[in-house]
Chains A and B, each alone.
Chain A
Amino acid sequence: MATIVAEATGQAILHEEHEQSFLRKYIFSTDHKVIAIQFLIYTLFFLMIGGLLAMLMRYQIAWPARGELPLGGIFPESMVASGYILPEFYNALVTMHGSVMVFLAIMPMLVGVWANYLIPLQLGTHDMAFPRLNMLSFWAMVPAGILTLASFFVVGGAAGAGWTLYAPLSARPDLTGVGLGQIMWLAALVFIGLSSILGSVNYITTTINMRAPGMTWMRMPLTIWSLFITAILALLAMPVLSAAGIMLIFDQTIGTSFFLPEGGGQPLLWQHLFWFFGHPEVYILILPAMGFTSEILSVGSRKPVFGYKAMVLALVSIAFLGFIVWGHHMFQSGMNPMLGLTFTVSTLFIAVPSAIKTFNWMGTMWRGNLQLHSAMLFAIGFVAMFAIGGLSGVFMASTPVDIYIHDTYFIVAHIHYVLFGGSLFALFGAIYFWYPKMFGRMMDETMGKIHFWLTFILFNVVFFPMHGVGMVGMMRRIYDSTGYAHLQGIEDTNALISWAAFGLFASGFLFAFNFFWSLKKGRKAEANPWNATTLEWQTPSPPKHGNWEEIPVVYHGPHEYSHPDVEDKDWLAQNERPDVVSPAAGSH
């Protein structure tokens, strides 16, 4: 039934193609592919902004007493005075680097870009279930971005209470010096929540209802599984953040005291609400990356994903456990220590599905025929870096050890191994991998490989030593660490980290150059440049409006590579009838 409706709309969409104005086609488009590209440009821009904020922080951390900020003169006096980054600006940098990266770069790049792009194509349908909601989910991000950027230039500057917005600091302008900037960021968060909720409803509905004939649940590519589970997480978690954010705006503006003790409120309530959202958020930020990695590793190894069912089960169990571990962010918060015990146990057990996934990725590579192109290198890099981020998490999950390392650079190292070494590596891989489908041209491989090696090496020079700095005891979010006796002797390491960070940021421009240069000059991509099996590769690059002339029929699982009964090639597309290629190949 659903399929028939989808086909009918698809036909309508195909016929409409010629009548669309420029505005309807490229700006207020309801085509999931155009929306995905809009999200991609948007998020790449904010990735650069977030990186820029980090560079300013790294300058301050490495050379707190020097001043002489290069190009410091272009900043207003309220941010940089005679070459010195001011403490209030530093707090804004800390806060907005985290906020921009999480909410305006990584999350919408994982979900907004790839859920939009891949769900209809990999499921074999014409578009999303609710194309107009989908358009709205992008356009809700626009005011969020504008509010965020504008907040730097209002009186008091941008939000400065950390991306975690801990009350009462975030709720009382008299204690931070930030008034309007904080409210603008909270308002931006409400828009982001709206965008995410609208998107999620769409992804879930589309995945449930609009799969092509034969596309059973256990034949869906792992990208779809991970994006589907992510959408459920976002739908359950984002409303909590939106509600908490609105309560915090009320505390700021109309005198309520949800989080303020003097009016009968409870600062820990904010933390419970924030982390009830925030920990599922961590998985929102990693599950899609796991999906892309599984997909790229399978294509690049020319092998089916090792343990497909175990991978799906691990995704589901990570998502479930992700909702009952939020308290591990609060071990030292003043929460009853007995609660800490239960959260330790649930948290440690998340290591099990994470280990299952890591071993299955290695299993996928085992005895493969590895094609080490840029996308594959980033996918392998993801596994290698995610493993470090996962293992360093064990230190924090162990509550007694967390007493010492909580709120130190050890945590900063951990989160970046997961979010940068994990999510962003997978995103780079995904862009190299699906770029030809999106734009009909290949990205340059040489530049891609140089970009990978620069990123991989510099990333580790930046973030691995942070474990060491954290062990020494350097606190997070510190404007100047040189005044502390126990932090003497880390200056050289901090300078090394900063130099490597500048290089890492610069290497991003090589990627950006490759991205934009290849739009015009890249080699023309055929429909299926990677010899991949999933449905999106069985339609032209780029696919036309409506994706398919005729809805494909799916005959088997998503990763049939190197099947022994298929002789002339090493892959079997999901919509290839196995008995046509070889009678015996139909078993899977």
Chain B
Amino acid sequence: MDWALPPNYSTFGVVIDQLFWIILVITGIAFLLVEGGIVWFCIKYRGREGARAHYTHGSNRLEIIWTVIPAIIIAILGAHSALVWDDIKGSSNRPADALEFLVVGKQFEWNITYPGVDETLGTADDFTVRNQFHFPVNEDITILLESEDVIHSFFIPELRVKQDAVPGMTIPVWFDATQTGNFEIACAELCGLGHYYMMASVTVHSAADFDAWQASQAPAAAQ
């Protein structure tokens, strides 16, 4: 098995993955330093008959060094994370003219309401499809996420999207897929007996294909 993140197909995924690898390098170095140090000390200072330990209560200089260096690294990492987080989730960065879908989780299915050809939710040509999420590539997508019963979590691994769906709340989630393809929505929050099969298919179309798909669905849904 590859211990790797699945391939990324979203605009946000690029920065998320980048941050993942940055943290992996930083923590990897700290890991080697600490674990290597422990193993080295265990070998070098293992008890010997007649040996006597070095008597010391510590060193203020060292305390300052190993307080300040982690603090600086952490501050930089925190600031960087905060900026990326704001780019992805900050309400001021919500795309203004995104195509909007309503996604409602309930035990144990995802119901997706499409805006129809007028590209507006809440109009007569809206239609709802169970467990199938189709949307166009390279376009800002916003879903309005709701739940009918318990908390679910909307998770598309390849798009690096995850958001809890909370009953009583409508939570906007936006993203932009960079490639066409077939994926899955998984539920990432324990939601009951059928949690493990609460899955929906995701199809990312080219713009033309999406229009065609939507047109093919609309009459069926209208009946």
Give residues in A with beta carbon < 8 Å to B: 87-88, 91, 94, 160-162, 166, 168-169, 172, 175-177, 261-262, 265-268, 301-304, 306-310, 332-334, 337-338, 340-341, 344-345, 348-349, 351-352, 355-356, 358-360, 362-363, 365-372, 380, 383-384, 387-388, 391-392, 394-395, 397-401, 403-404, 406-408, 465, 467-469, 471-473, 475-481, 483-486, 489-490, 492-493, 561-564, 570, 588
Contacts and interface: CB of A to CB of B under 8 A. Distances in A.
Interface stretch (B113-121, B134-142, B163-171, B208-216): B163-171
B153 A407 contact: yes
6 contacts: A168-B149, A370-B42, A394-B26, A401-B20, A401-B23, A472-B4
Q: Which of B34, B51, B161 has the most CB of A within 10 A?
A: B34
B161 to A, nearest CB: 7
Contact of A168 (B160, B167, B193): B167
Contacts of B162: 332, 403-404, 406-407
B164 A333 contact: yes
B16 A404 contact: yes
Contacts of A564: 55
A273 B35 CA distance: 37
A384 B161 contact: no
Contact of B67 (A262, A352, A365): A352
- Which 3 pairs from chain A and chain B are nearest by CB? A261-B168, A468-B3, A367-B54
B219 interface: no
The contact size tier of chain B is 35 or more
B96 interface: no
Contacts of B45: 301, 365-370
Nearest to B154: A332
A266 B67 CA distance: 40
Contacts of A380: 38, 42
A481 B196 contact: yes
Given A304-B57, A348-B77, A359-B66, A366 B164 contact: no
A492 to B, nearest CB: 6
Contact of B27 (A266, A392, A473): A392
B95 interface: no
B74 interface: yes
A489 B4 CA distance: 12
Nearest to B51: A369
B14 to A, nearest CB: 11
B98 interface: no
A134 B104 CA distance: 51
Contacts, number: 302
Contacts of A301: 45, 53
B166 A161 contact: no
A304 B56 contact: yes
Contacts of B169: 261, 268, 334
B166 A267 contact: yes
B150 A168 contact: yes
Contacts of A359: 62, 66
B54 A88 contact: no
Contacts of A351: 70, 74
Contact of B88 (A168, A365, A400, A469): A400
A432 B183 CA distance: 51
A166 B151 CA distance: 8
B199 A484 contact: yes
B122 interface: no
Contacts of A87: 193-194, 196
Given A349-B74, A370-B47, A394-B27, A476 B190 contact: yes
A166 B188 CA distance: 13
A471 B3 CA distance: 6
B192 A176 contact: yes
Nearest to B152: A169
Given A166-B150, A384-B35, 7 more contacts: A175-B150, A306-B57, A340-B85, A356-B63, A370-B41, A399-B89, A407-B162
A268 B166 contact: yes
B58 A384 contact: no
B170 to A, nearest CB: 9
A588 B61 CA distance: 20
Nearest to A90: B196
A122 to B, nearest CB: 19
Contact of B54 (A368, A372, A383, A403): A368
Contacts of B1: 468, 472, 489-490, 492-493
A477 to B, nearest CB: 4
B161 A403 contact: yes
Contacts of A479: 195-196
Nearest to A496: B1
B71 interface: yes
A201 B179 CA distance: 60
B23 A394 contact: yes
Nearest to B55: A562
Nearest to A309: B58
A344 B42 contact: no
Contact of A365 (B5, B30, B38, B184): B38
Contacts of A344: 78, 81-82, 85
